[in-house]
Structure 1
């Protein structure tokens, strides 16, 4: 606790001493005024417009902006800082044309008029210009997928977008992994209570049209919270700072689910106000569920089989309101509030055979979640370009509800009823301050402090089993970015985190734990010939278990396979080493990486056989620290344009799985996990576009068993309407197979548990999207809480609830 007090004292010191910035050193920052450059691209011979001509705005041989011409040959480059540039225009089969353009603060907008391209005289095969705008960017510490440049995203949701991002694998439930490991998902650099509870549900509530880009941070620097063994995914949404009013309306309806979203942005002078509302509803559908338990009880074989169905549905809504105000040219204040509510569940029935004795179980399950996130951010810049100070505070409060009932009907026996109820409460308070100081044009220091204070409680229907848990995390970091040579960029840093935990489970189990960790990070990036880069990185990460893993509440919605958390879990600690390579060859993108990952105290689910009061053998599912894991792997992503309007994408990732524990004499051996994704998108004249895609996920291993392979595929066709302000489309998922079958098997020395699920996957839908007003997008810094490991079933939308809600 003393360290936390000292940290907060340091935060106060920074707030007092950094409010005023020195002005010496670098030249004053450039004007904040930005403008636009417009032009019309025509064929010199036919005088017809050239659509999808590639435009690049460069300075000192470095691209700073770009775009493509529309169907009428028009192009507009927004947010151009006043300066002198080269305006480069090219297209397949035409000679490249370069013009010099200069904008000033007094005249930030430039109309270049009509630019004529002439046919190239050489072979078309020698032309290296691609008319397709690049979807992938490689930066020193992350890979960026520019979703707004992908015209086929209209009508989908964030899950659809994530499936197209290099190195990510997304199963049909929305469970996201980065190269076979868990990953932390942020929205605009900050956590969300909804995302913390259910990644799948949160992604389904974000229309694809709202996403500007997705950042894949495989090697987070010490600036980020140390949570997430696989890395961090940051979804950047579109935001409006233009004068006037703008917004969007999105809606989709299908045979399995429906969703809608409305966004409104208003800006006048230095004040901007944003608001949004979204809703999602999944139809109730029957899923076949077959489970089998075999165990040895007192030397005798014990068999329990269940054959039945679950009829789950999902309903959710979210809303937000935000305010952004520029006090002057150097001071900005913003605040935002979000509310989210989800519920899923439904009835079910099973035929049950316990050692050959028949009974029927009529059950019902209901899970709910509601959350409120409120944040306030202050940002101060100075005349020194790149210098920035920020202070942020965030409150997140959430409630989880879980209620179930089981009614057993057996001939000649009185009905047996099993009931259960649990309410989980999570209050989280965060304060954070960050400071960036550029010593010169090539060397920058980033530093900051942060405090997170969590109060978690779980109230049972039996009060003696209540669970109270407090977790406080204090951290500080320093990162130095600099140039080793003209072509080699480096980022080196270290983060210190102190964690204090105490809690009470029931009336007897008290626990107290605290630990201090250092998390170093190093990234080296070298630019080779052309647009080729090589990156080498190292970092250390941690994953603390969240409430789902810790909560000792026993969920007996399946009385023969109950589940409960483990409050004694230790956090995972992971060391990552990665070597990455990326290049652009004649309009094609290739990104490849190899990595090594070592994780201690790996957290996995485990079945533990036990005998109840009636002598029936059952399997309890809980979570334990199973041992140490070493994993090697690689990932290859490629994008190719056979034609300017045709994009082919493919991604393949492979990694090893192996867990060892000398104390328990555990050695799983080495297994291979892989994921593959392929996509073809084609744009047709007249505003039409088509897309086909497919995903394969290999069997997933755990130390006790595996989940079988899954594959799914889909397609879409879309049309621009209403003067390109709107799109309407049709989509289909798994049209040739009605059900998706997922089988999971776990084994111990004396028991076996098998679950076989068939649920309807095939779906058809229609979507509509409409944008109004003038859009201009910016991004603000804010709190980033990314330090809790999330349960897999949470990521999958709450187990069967997620399965049924797609």
Structure 2
């Protein structure tokens, strides 16, 4: 039987209107952006390496100005070295380019006239400098989103509205990424391979992203996203790869940064970052502390069709708190053995303590209005987490241009001890004050998670235009979950071990992979990237309550990408990759989680991996004031993993939720990203995604096929008030989407951020107002032949945070300021 889910008419009309408004906005902005004015453009390159010079400062002055006290315009070069100075009046100009490690480059008497209104300088060479400077501080803003052939890069520092938050807060505000109420992270609606500094981490080693909530946003440099990564990357993650790069000391001399912050309900955060860099060594250290408090609400209503007892209807209300105390210490160093060889060491230690008391009321009745039985459950849950990570990285560049070798080995150890004290009170029928029975239980869940990464990558140039990359990677996971349950015995007045509810689950997984990648340029316009990755998985698992099982499998993962460069700042790319989603141990563990006795969760040791074929066509266009990044994508997945709810045959009041391989899924859609720099004081970036998804789950239930269209939108707008003050407003909306057994409700929120610099820009004050209208919550509606259910989950999200940051360090400062334009160098 095909199940159709319909939204109500008013909601449907509102969505259509909002969809029309957004599409009209995008088209209007594109029309505005296509209008060309007088401009100067070009590309900075290093003449020795022939590589682009990134993030150099470009200043434009009136020709012949001796003191250069006022700049006509300024810009920063992109990742490919290109720059554009738009909206110029006719006249002659002098151009000055500055970048750390390079000599100043000056081009004089550049003529912008009616004969040449758009002057293209082509390649501008910058000579490397032999002078060692302590630091050059560039007073120019990097765009929040930057596009490249692999995907997009998001600069975390530019996200003002997430100051004082966590890594999850950063991810929530990135186009294409969704973080649900449990901390699970998805990319374009499906699983993603989450890396930290290019490596698998104990913070992301489980099926949840909850560990990233302990990682402060201030520790993140940028986030790189690739929805169709090459064969060089792990094949895991159907949606692609999310690589979180952490900050480390790069400034020469001795530098420090201190941050303190706080918010309502006793939340606070603080951090200290120090680095010392010389010609041969770079040492860095950081310490972060965060205390977070959040209220949690959950309500659920369910009707069972084939149960005509007093328990036909179940209404549940849960109210709880979550108090987190996190400490993170990061240490590291780089040894520059010579100009071509670097040896690096990195270490991280994290401590997290959580208190999660909650109160659950379950009411049963024969009708929705007649609820005659009540169950009160109080759960005092505590969790202690320890994380230790260490990495050794060796990098060697050879004399031949483009030839290099990278080797890294890392070890991650994570421990988690979760304890629960549960009291369940069942009251007499029709009362809430006459106790019928009481059950006391307590449990301890000890989880150990070890991950080892070994990786070797080698690049060998083939002539001047092509190169071959090859490498090997091993990911070794060793996980052990030991769960002990005790029940209070009224006769002996002691807690007794309950073997039927206890369980030990051991999970060992090894992924051995080798890859080969061929890439290069066929000509000036066409670039290619073809690769093949082979992965062998060796998996064994053992549980006290189930037979041991082994699952070994081998797969080949091809990837391909062709890029056509139409002109500078404009290209088209076509990509394909085969991806895999391997079920994590939480999904495989057959143990029954009975923290909610009427809604039980259980794993599935027979769960197989998802395999996905992913294709994408992307386009990138840069105008004077706008950048446009649209893409079309298509995915077909076999053995889709989703949680499926069924009724317990032995108790009609109990429903069991377990993951299964549902069948196939096909999705396709369009994603649009628009970046605009409207004026000196206003810029924005917006994204819009529209897609269709069809799930064929006839292997789980006869004629169960669901199909739906949905869309997501996000807008971030930034305003500058003078040179030291900025504001940011971020809004996002996620439309309802059909799942195999129901519909996930719409989700939307609006955040505000404020930043002001003072004390010669050494100090920065920040203010953040998250979820201004208190609308961020997650809901669902389900309808099957056995039951109907609806629920809502909300974590406290309306939060006001303030922060203060101060920078300490001796440095040189070079700046080119629009409106002043003086280029100065002074010791501080």
* Range of TM-score over shorter length: 0.7 to 0.9
Give 1:551 deviation, angstroms: 2.2
Q: Structure 1: how far apart are the matches of 2:415 and 2:78?
A: 51
Q: In the alignment, which residue of structure 1 is the partner of 2:81?
A: 63
Give 1:192 deviation, angstroms: 2.1
Cα 1:50–1:649 change in 2 (3 A) is: farther
Cα 1:531–1:652 change in 2 (3 A) is: same
Q: In the alignment, which residue of structure 2 is the partner of 1:732?
A: 769
Give 1:152 deviation, angstroms: 7.2
Q: Structure 2: how far apart are the matches of 1:762 and 1:58?
A: 36
- SS of residue paired to 2:474: strand
- The yes-or-no answer on 1:378 pairing with 2:394 is yes
Q: In the alignment, which residue of structure 2 is the partner of 1:9?
A: none
Q: In the alignment, which residue of structure 1 is the partner of 2:706?
A: 669
Q: In the alignment, which residue of structure 1 is the partner of 2:269?
A: 259
Match of 2:229 among 211, 216, 220: 220
Cα 1:342–1:517 change in 2 (3 A) is: same
Q: Structure 1: how far apart are the matches of 2:134 and 2:359?
A: 69
Q: In the alignment, which residue of structure 2 is the partner of 1:659?
A: 695
Greater shift after overlay, 246-255 or 649-658?
246-255
1:386-785 equivalences in 2 (<5 Å) = 386-409=402-425, 410=427, 411-461=434-484, 465-506=503-544, 508-610=546-648, 615=651, 617-664=653-700, 665-737=702-774, 740-773=776-809
Cα 1:337–1:74 change in 2 (3 A) is: farther
Give 1:302 deviation, angstroms: 2.5
8 Å CA contact 1:226–1:519 kept in 2: the answer is yes
Where does structure 1 lack aligned partners over 5 or more consecutive residues?
A: 1-26, 113-130, 777-806
8 Å CA contact 2:280–2:337 kept in 1: the answer is yes
Greater shift after overlay, 696-705 or 473-482?
696-705
8 Å CA contact 2:55–2:76 kept in 1: the answer is no
8 Å CA contact 1:35–1:108 kept in 2: the answer is no
Cα 1:52–1:555 change in 2 (3 A) is: farther
Give 1:715 deviation, angstroms: 1.3
- SS of residue paired to 1:617: coil
Give 1:708 deviation, angstroms: 1.2
- SS of residue paired to 1:549: helix
Give 1:156 deviation, angstroms: 5.5
Cα 1:768–1:56 change in 2 (3 A) is: closer
Match of 1:140 among 149, 165, 168: 149
Cα 1:46–1:755 change in 2 (3 A) is: farther
Give 1:444 deviation, angstroms: 0.8
8 Å CA contact 2:257–2:273 kept in 1: the answer is yes
Where does structure 2 lack aligned partners over 5 or more consecutive residues?
A: 1-45, 87-93, 366-371, 428-433, 486-498, 813-828
8 Å CA contact 2:453–2:473 kept in 1: the answer is yes
Give 1:700 deviation, angstroms: 3.8
- The yes-or-no answer on 1:325 pairing with 2:335 is yes
8 Å CA contact 2:667–2:694 kept in 1: the answer is yes
- SS of residue paired to 1:562: strand
8 Å CA contact 1:152–1:718 kept in 2: the answer is no
Deviation digits for residues 36-71 of structure 1, max 9, x if unmatched? 988976678998855793246799xx7368999xxx
Deviation digits for residues 391-415 of structure 1, max 9, x if unmatched? 2211111123333333222224231
Give 1:147 deviation, angstroms: 4.3
Q: Structure 1: how far apart are the matches of 2:655 and 2:134?
A: 71
Give 1:577 deviation, angstroms: 0.5
Q: In the alignment, which residue of structure 2 is the partner of 1:78?
A: 99
Give 1:518 deviation, angstroms: 0.2
Cα 1:390–1:363 change in 2 (3 A) is: same
- SS of residue paired to 1:194: helix
Give 1:608 deviation, angstroms: 2.4
8 Å CA contact 2:315–2:363 kept in 1: the answer is yes
1:226-237 equivalences in 2 (<5 Å) = 226-237=235-246
Q: In the alignment, which residue of structure 2 is the partner of 1:334?
A: 344
Cα 1:484–1:212 change in 2 (3 A) is: same
- SS of residue paired to 1:428: strand
Cα 1:177–1:48 change in 2 (3 A) is: farther
8 Å CA contact 1:43–1:49 kept in 2: the answer is no
Give 1:663 deviation, angstroms: 3.4
Q: Structure 2: how far apart are the matches of 1:541 and 1:100?
A: 41
Give 1:352 deviation, angstroms: 2.6
Give 1:724 deviation, angstroms: 0.8
1:18-33 equivalences in 2 (<5 Å) = none
Cα 1:345–1:568 change in 2 (3 A) is: farther
Give 1:144 deviation, angstroms: 2.2
Q: Structure 2: how far apart are the matches of 1:67 and 1:771?
A: 31
- SS of residue paired to 1:568: coil
- SS of residue paired to 2:602: coil
8 Å CA contact 2:304–2:313 kept in 1: the answer is yes
Q: Structure 1: how far apart are the matches of 2:750 and 2:57?
A: 40
Q: In the alignment, which residue of structure 2 is the partner of 1:794?
A: none
8 Å CA contact 1:261–1:277 kept in 2: the answer is yes
8 Å CA contact 2:97–2:105 kept in 1: the answer is no
Give 1:102 deviation, angstroms: 5.4
Q: Structure 2: how far apart are the matches of 1:576 and 1:632?
A: 10
Greater shift after overlay, 648-657 or 296-305?
296-305
Q: Structure 2: how far apart are the matches of 1:135 and 1:364?
A: 42
TM-score (norm 1): 0.81
Q: In the alignment, which residue of structure 2 is the partner of 1:103?
A: 127
1:156-305 equivalences in 2 (<5 Å) = 157-170=166-179, 176-197=185-206, 198-199=208-209, 201-202=211-212, 205-208=215-218, 210-255=219-264, 257-285=267-295, 287-296=296-305, 300=309, 302-305=312-315
Cα 1:50–1:572 change in 2 (3 A) is: farther
- SS of residue paired to 2:203: helix
Give 1:725 deviation, angstroms: 1.7
Give 1:173 deviation, angstroms: 7.2
- SS of residue paired to 2:669: strand
Greater shift after overlay, 417-426 or 316-325?
417-426
- SS of residue paired to 1:189: coil
Deviation digits for residues 611-662 of structure 1, max 9, x if unmatched? 56xx562112221111110001110011122212210221101222221144
8 Å CA contact 2:364–2:374 kept in 1: the answer is yes
Deviation digits for residues 285-334 of structure 1, max 9, x if unmatched? 3x443222332567656332223411222222211111221222332211
8 Å CA contact 2:161–2:770 kept in 1: the answer is no
Give 1:773 deviation, angstroms: 2.4
8 Å CA contact 2:161–2:769 kept in 1: the answer is no
8 Å CA contact 1:244–1:266 kept in 2: the answer is yes
Q: Structure 2: how far apart are the matches of 1:390 and 1:162?
A: 28
Q: Structure 1: how far apart are the matches of 2:293 and 2:735?
A: 29
Cα 1:454–1:155 change in 2 (3 A) is: closer
Q: Structure 2: how far apart are the matches of 1:200 and 1:365?
A: 16
Q: Structure 1: how far apart are the matches of 2:275 and 2:109?
A: 33
Deviation digits for residues 682-705 of structure 1, max 9, x if unmatched? 111141111112111112432112
TM-score (norm 2): 0.79
Q: Structure 2: how far apart are the matches of 1:350 and 1:308?
A: 4
Q: Structure 2: how far apart are the matches of 1:283 and 1:488?
A: 53
